[in-house]
């Protein structure tokens, strides 16, 4: 029997200790691009297994959150909205992009420690773990977006408030991207820190809670006094939420200094996160 | 023939306290950082500070592997074999040195990594394949082959959490085996799974070797090394001490023990930090007259004694030996508190010096060379100390049953059995 030797694409690996600042090695990430897809797919498959409500959880969670916020902040505390937008839809337009960020914070930050077995046993670009976890949030986002459309139709029919699909919707991908960049930036920092410091596990829920209140989720960012606006915009989620409310609901335009600051901060978060992650990557398998 | 792996001056340093202690908390690190200035001052005074808090798991290793070669890697536990494989498969980075690898490195050590219990067999094949670096279409084209090899066709759409452990292992192995890497790494995988599975592993390994791929084979089982490899390297305390044709390398490894004439003693620097409060002192073989010897007679009782010190009280301690043939096959395992009455009596051992001694009854072992592993642990709590091949000794079969025929007798034991012959 002549066994045919199947040759794979020739691949030469050169291993040496990385000194100083590690290069990003994006080529490697590209080689493994299919793994990103498989990890997202796996997360989706597994997440709602053995649940009664299944995938509807992705819709129920933000929806119920909106209901609770509307009762307590909208009706009881009478938190004002911009341009008379009904509170439920006003808060929902913020909850929506914030779920992307929360997912990054909660899941992507735990992705390395949560896959200890893989990290200590096989080689693959470690970036794939937080990256696929963050990208997986887009699927939840898309599902929850359908509820927003439903809400808008509801308000249009009952005559509470009128919305128009206009050119501003084209700006949505930019704001989604901004949310992803911010989320990934934070997740890269936290996931790499988590490998070495288990304290991060206790920090994450607290940070998620805190971040929600320093972002204009339950209130309008116009409540923040003018002199604090620039400082406030250091939180990139401020730019994201203002952008969403503007594009979808006709809230005041977010463009200006504030959004620029938010964008720059998001990019800095991502870039520094990448560098830190790559720098720590070489010891992940030894310390995890 | 071209070199597919070239390793040059490879070293890997671990910080003690980082490796065994696994992870630190932030407060520990802050305390550590605050102590830094003080340490910096001390560092000026102590001459070799690096040697104090770091260990070299690998130290200046260089070798080449030719295409299609099956290379054995031999060494005791902790010699650095696993570290070497981890670096070759890019799981961890070296501290110094360079490596060129021509081709994909696959390992039978990572079987089932990334399997998700909630996913079906089919889904796990795709996921696991992707984790091991296969492309989607590559997996799809080999899918049927993988399923057939794993023998789980019927359950391919059942979540793997409902699989028996044997099915799970077979499926996992099937995926890894079909990765078809240019370089295959096999590390002690033979220690897991049933005999059938081990046979399959070895079969796959020789298939791979026959197809002209390169195999790195790490094992404690010298018979397997001799059977499957032509050439081997021996690693000792992080250094490559020998590269030779396998029979020569195995001989070198077996005789390189620290044991001299029936006694192995431990110096303070040889005892790992994590062994505390257990400190091994000596392991000895004595003959029936109480002399420390290298060779005992099969027909006489032999004594194995392990002397050690406890620096703190220990609960549930059991000290024992694993007797193996020099080729690595297990003969028996025994602990000093095997007897329930002894176990009751020695529940707590106070600090002090002890000897645990046992007698190998006459007419037990066949002639040959044997090796002792020692182990001190509290069951399910902690393993304090273990060392493989701590001591070797010979058994001489003079006077044993059947010696009137000068032929080698196969078998590890040489019992004196009572035969009866009846004429009917």
Q: What is the pLDDT of residues A60-94, one digit of tens each?
A: 999 999 999 999 999 999 888 888 888 999 999 99
Is it the case that residue A191 has pLDDT exceeding 90?
yes
pLDDT for residue B19: 41
Mean pLDDT of chain A: 87
Mean pLDDT over B229-251 rounds to 90
User: How far A40 CA lies from chain B's nearest CA (Å)?
Assistant: 11
User: How far A111 CA lies from chain B's nearest CA (Å)?
Assistant: 13
ipTM score: 0.81
Q: A286 to chain B: which residues are within 8 Å by CB?
A: 14, 18-19, 92
Is it the case that residue B35 has pLDDT exceeding 70?
no
Work out the number of other CB atoms within 10 angstroms of the CB of residue A265: 20
The confidence band for B377, taking pLDDT boundaries of 50, 70 and 90, is very high
- Minimum mean pLDDT range among A229-233, A263-267, B65-69, B252-256: B252-256
Mean pLDDT over B17-46 rounds to 52
The per-residue pLDDT for range A242-252, each reduced to its tens digit, is: 999 999 888 88
User: How far B227 CA lies from chain A's nearest CA (Å)?
Assistant: 22
The confidence band for B91, taking pLDDT boundaries of 50, 70 and 90, is confident
Cα gap B365→A117, rounded to integer Å:
42
Question: In DSSP terms, which residues pair with B304 in a beta bridge?
Answer: B285, B358
Mean pLDDT over A5-23 rounds to 61
Contacts 24+ apart (CB under 8 A), A246-249: A246/A168, A246/A171, A247/A168, A247/A169, A247/A171, A247/A172, A247/A175, A248/A93, A248/A148, A248/A152, A248/A163, A248/A168, A248/A169, A248/A172, A249/A82, A249/A83, A249/A85, A249/A89, A249/A90, A249/A93, A249/A163
Write down the number of H helices and E strands in chain A: 12, 1
pLDDT for residue B107: 77
Question: Do B181 and B102 meet the contact criterion of CB atoms below 8 Å apart?
Answer: no
Is it the case that residue B198 has pLDDT exceeding 80?
no
pLDDT for residue B193: 54
CA distances from A286 to A48, A149, B112, B228 (A): 33, 48, 21, 31
Q: Which residues 3-32 of B have a C-beta within 8 angstroms of A? A: 14, 18-19, 22-27, 29
Residue in chain B lying closest to A9 (CA): B103
Is it the case that residue A217 has pLDDT exceeding 80?
yes
Mean pLDDT over B9-25 rounds to 65
pLDDT for residue B131: 86
pLDDT for residue B259: 46
User: How far A136 CA lies from chain B's nearest CA (Å)?
Assistant: 16
- Residue B131 to residue A12, Cβ atoms within 8 A: no
Is it the case that residue B21 has pLDDT exceeding 50?
no
CB-neighbour burial class of residue A142 (10 A; exposed 0-12, middle 13-18, buried 19+): exposed
Mean pLDDT over A29-49 rounds to 87
Mean pLDDT over B291-303 rounds to 88
Q: Is B213 touching A (CB cutoff 8 A)? A: yes
Mode of pairing for the β-strands spanning B278-286 and B302-310? antiparallel
- Residue A10 to residue B26, Cβ atoms within 8 A: no
Tell me the Ramachandran region of residue A183: left when phi exceeds 0, alpha when psi lies from -120 to 50, beta otherwise: alpha
Is it the case that residue A258 has pLDDT exceeding 60?
yes
The confidence band for A23, taking pLDDT boundaries of 50, 70 and 90, is low
The confidence band for B23, taking pLDDT boundaries of 50, 70 and 90, is very low
- Residue B90 to residue A117, Cβ atoms within 8 A: no
Q: Which of A35, A46, A128, A192 to substitute to test the interface with B, most B CBs within 10 Å? A: A35
Question: Do A246 and A168 meet the contact criterion of CB atoms below 8 Å apart?
Answer: yes
Cα gap B163→B146, rounded to integer Å:
16
pLDDT for residue B295: 83
Place of tokens 């936290």: A190
- Residue A195 to residue B23, Cβ atoms within 8 A: yes
- Residue A45 to residue B23, Cβ atoms within 8 A: no
CB-neighbour burial class of residue B196 (10 A; exposed 0-12, middle 13-18, buried 19+): exposed
Mean pLDDT over B189-214 rounds to 68
pLDDT for residue A1: 35
Cα gap A113→A183, rounded to integer Å:
18
Is it the case that residue B258 has pLDDT exceeding 70?
no
Q: Which of A42, A125, A279 to substitute to test the interface with B, most B CBs within 10 Å? A: A42
Q: Which of B93, B129, B130, B83 is nearest to B238 (CA)?
A: B83
The confidence band for B45, taking pLDDT boundaries of 50, 70 and 90, is very low
User: How far B185 CA lies from chain A's nearest CA (Å)?
Assistant: 12
Helix or strand or coil: residue B133?
coil
Q: Which of A32, A36, A114, A123 to substitute to test the interface with B, most B CBs within 10 Å? A: A123
- Residue A287 to residue B126, Cβ atoms within 8 A: no
Q: Which of B110, B87, B81, B82 is nearest to B100 (CA)?
A: B87
> CA B287 from chain center: how many Å?
30
- Residue A10 to residue B102, Cβ atoms within 8 A: yes
Residue in chain B lying closest to A19 (CA): B95
The confidence band for B49, taking pLDDT boundaries of 50, 70 and 90, is very low
Is it the case that residue A180 has pLDDT exceeding 60?
yes
Q: A196 to chain B: which residues are within 8 Å by CB?
A: 23-24
Q: Which of B114, B107, B127 is nearest to B204 (CA)?
A: B107
Write down the number of H helices and E strands in chain B: 11, 20
- Residue B25 to residue A121, Cβ atoms within 8 A: no
pLDDT for residue B188: 60
Mean pLDDT of chain B: 82
Is it the case that residue B196 has pLDDT exceeding 70?
no
How many CA atoms does the CB half-sphere of B180 hold within 13 Å? Answer: 18
pLDDT for residue B25: 60
pLDDT for residue B48: 44
- Residue A38 to residue B25, Cβ atoms within 8 A: no
In chain A, what percentage of residues exceed pLDDT 70? 94
CA distances from A142 to A136, A169, A176 (A): 10, 14, 11
- Minimum mean pLDDT range among A6-10, A228-232, B377-381: A6-10
- Residue A117 to residue B113, Cβ atoms within 8 A: yes
Residue in chain A lying closest to B138 (CA): A8
Mean pLDDT over B390-409 rounds to 84
Write down the pTM of the prediction.
0.73
pLDDT for residue A273: 94
Peptide linkage before B95 cis (omega within 30 of 0): no
pLDDT for residue B1: 58
Residue in chain B lying closest to A13 (CA): B101
CB pairs under 8 A between A and B: 126
In chain A, what percentage of residues exceed pLDDT 90? 51
Mean pLDDT over B402-418 rounds to 86
The per-residue pLDDT for range A160-175, each reduced to its tens digit, is: 777 777 788 889 999 9
Nearest to B23 among A120, A122, A196 (CB): A196
Is it the case that residue B382 has pLDDT exceeding 70?
yes
Is it the case that residue A134 has pLDDT exceeding 70?
yes
Mean pLDDT over B129-145 rounds to 87
Question: Do B331 and B323 meet the contact criterion of CB atoms below 8 Å apart?
Answer: yes
Q: Which of A30, A34, A54 to substitute to test the interface with B, most B CBs within 10 Å? A: A34
Q: How many degrees, rounded to 5, is the angle at CA B247 between CA B244 and CA B252? A: 70
- Minimum mean pLDDT range among B175-184, B244-253, B325-334: B175-184
pLDDT for residue B257: 53
**φ/ψ (deg, to 5) at B107:** -140, 140
Q: Which of B83, B11, B13, B70 is nearest to B233 (CA)?
A: B70
Assigned token pair, B252: 């070198």
Cα gap B217→B229, rounded to integer Å:
8
The confidence band for A12, taking pLDDT boundaries of 50, 70 and 90, is confident
Q: Which of B113, B221, B224, B119 is nearest to B169 (CA)?
A: B113
Place of tokens 């250094």: B239
Interface of A with B (CB under 8 A): 3, 5-6, 8, 10-18, 31-32, 34-35, 38, 41-42, 45-46, 49-50, 115, 117-118, 120-124, 195-199, 282-283, 285-288
Q: Which of B7, B128, B135, B141 to substitute to test the interface with A, most A CBs within 10 Å? A: B135
Instruction: Give the gyration radius of chain A's Cα atoms.
Output: 21
Helix or strand or coil: residue B303?
strand
Mean pLDDT over A128-132 rounds to 95
Cα gap B253→B60, rounded to integer Å:
19
Nearest to B131 among A5, A31, A35 (CB): A35
pLDDT for residue B373: 92
- Minimum mean pLDDT range among A113-127, B181-195, B317-331, B339-353: B181-195
């Amino acid at each position: 029997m002549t066994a045919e030797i199947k040759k794979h694409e020739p691949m030469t690996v050169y291993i040496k200790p990385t000194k100083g600042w590690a290069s990003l090695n994006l080529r490697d990430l590209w080689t493994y691009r299919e793994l990103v897809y498989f990890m997202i797919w796996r997360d989706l498959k597994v997440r709602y297994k053995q649940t009664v409500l299944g995938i509807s959880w992705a819709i129920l969670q933000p929806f119920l959150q909106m209901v609770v916020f509307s009762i307590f902040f909208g009706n009881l505390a009478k938190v004002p909205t911009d341009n008379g937008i009904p509170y439920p839809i006003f808060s929902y337009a913020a909850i929506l992009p914030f779920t992307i960020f929360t997912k990054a914070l909660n899941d992507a930050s735990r992705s390395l420690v949560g896959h200890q077995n893989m990290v200590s046993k096989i080689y693959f670009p470690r970036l794939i773990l937080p990256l696929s976890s963050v990208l997986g949030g887009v699927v939840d986002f898309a599902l929850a977006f359908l509820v927003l459309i439903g809400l808008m139709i509801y308000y249009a029919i009952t005559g509470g408030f009128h919305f128009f699909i206009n050119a501003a919707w084209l700006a949505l991908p930019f704001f989604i991207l901004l949310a992803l960049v911010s989320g990934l930036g934070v997740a890269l920092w936290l996931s790499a820190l988590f490998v070495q410091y288990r304290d991060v596990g206790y920090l994450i829920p607290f940070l998620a809670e805190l971040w929600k209140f320093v972002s204009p989720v339950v209130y309008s960012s116009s409540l923040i006094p003018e002199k604090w606006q620039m400082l406030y915009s250091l939180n990139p989620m401020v730019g994201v939420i203002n952008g969403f409310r503007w594009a979808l609901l006709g809230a005041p335009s977010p463009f200006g200094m504030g959004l620029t600051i938010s964008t720059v901060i998001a990019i800095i978060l991502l870039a520094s996160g990448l560098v830190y992650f790559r720098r720590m990557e070489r010891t992940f398998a030894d310390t995890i | 023939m071209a070199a597919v792996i070239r390793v040059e001056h490879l070293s890997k340093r671990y910080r003690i306290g980082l490796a065994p202690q696994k992870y630190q908390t932030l407060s520990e690190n802050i305390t550590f950082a605050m102590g830094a200035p003080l340490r910096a001052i001390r560092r000026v005074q102590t001459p070799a500070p690096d040697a104090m808090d770091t260990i070299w798991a690998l130290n200046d290793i260089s070798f080449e592997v030719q295409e299609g070669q099956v290379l054995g890697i031999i060494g005791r536990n902790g010699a650095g074999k696993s570290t070497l494989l981890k670096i070759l498969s890019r799981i961890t980075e070296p501290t110094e040195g360079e490596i060129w690898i021509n081709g994909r490195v696959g390992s039978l050590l990572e079987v089932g990594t990334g399997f998700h219990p909630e996913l079906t067999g089919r889904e796990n094949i795709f996921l696991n394949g992707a984790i091991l670096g296969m492309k989607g279409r590559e997996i799809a084209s080999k899918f049927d082959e993988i399923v057939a090899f794993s023998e789980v066709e019927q359950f391919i759409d059942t979540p793997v959490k409902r699989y028996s452990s044997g099915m799970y292992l077979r499926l996992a192995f099937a995926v890894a085996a079909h990765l078809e890497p240019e370089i295959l790494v096999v590390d002690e995988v033979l220690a897991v799974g049933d005999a059938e599975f081990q046979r399959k592993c070895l079969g796959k390994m020789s298939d791979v070797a026959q197809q002209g791929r390169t195999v790195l084979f790490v094992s404690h089982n010298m018979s397997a090394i001799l059977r499957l490899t032509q050439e081997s390297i021996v690693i000792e305390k992080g250094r490559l001490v020998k590269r030779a044709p396998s029979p020569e390398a195995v001989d070198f490894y077996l005789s390189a023990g620290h044991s001299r004439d029936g006694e192995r003693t431990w110096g303070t620097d040889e005892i790992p930090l994590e062994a505390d409060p257990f400190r091994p002192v000596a392991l000895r073989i004595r003959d029936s007259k109480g002399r420390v010897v290298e060779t005992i007679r099969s027909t006489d009782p032999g004594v194995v004694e392990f002397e050690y010190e406890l620096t703190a009280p220990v609960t549930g301690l059991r000290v024992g030996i694993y007797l193996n043939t020099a080729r690595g096959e297990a003969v028996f395992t025994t602990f000093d508190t095997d007897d329930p009455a002894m176990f009751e009596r020695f529940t707590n051992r106070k600090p002090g010096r002890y000897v645990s001694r046992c007698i190998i009854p006459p007419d037990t072992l066949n002639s040959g060379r044997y090796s002792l592993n020692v182990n001190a642990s509290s069951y399910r709590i902690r393993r304090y100390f273990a060392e493989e091949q701590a001591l070797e000794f010979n058994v001489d079969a003079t006077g044993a049953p059947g010696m009137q025929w000068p032929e080698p007798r196969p078998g590890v034991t040489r019992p004196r059995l009572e035969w009866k012959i009846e004429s009917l």
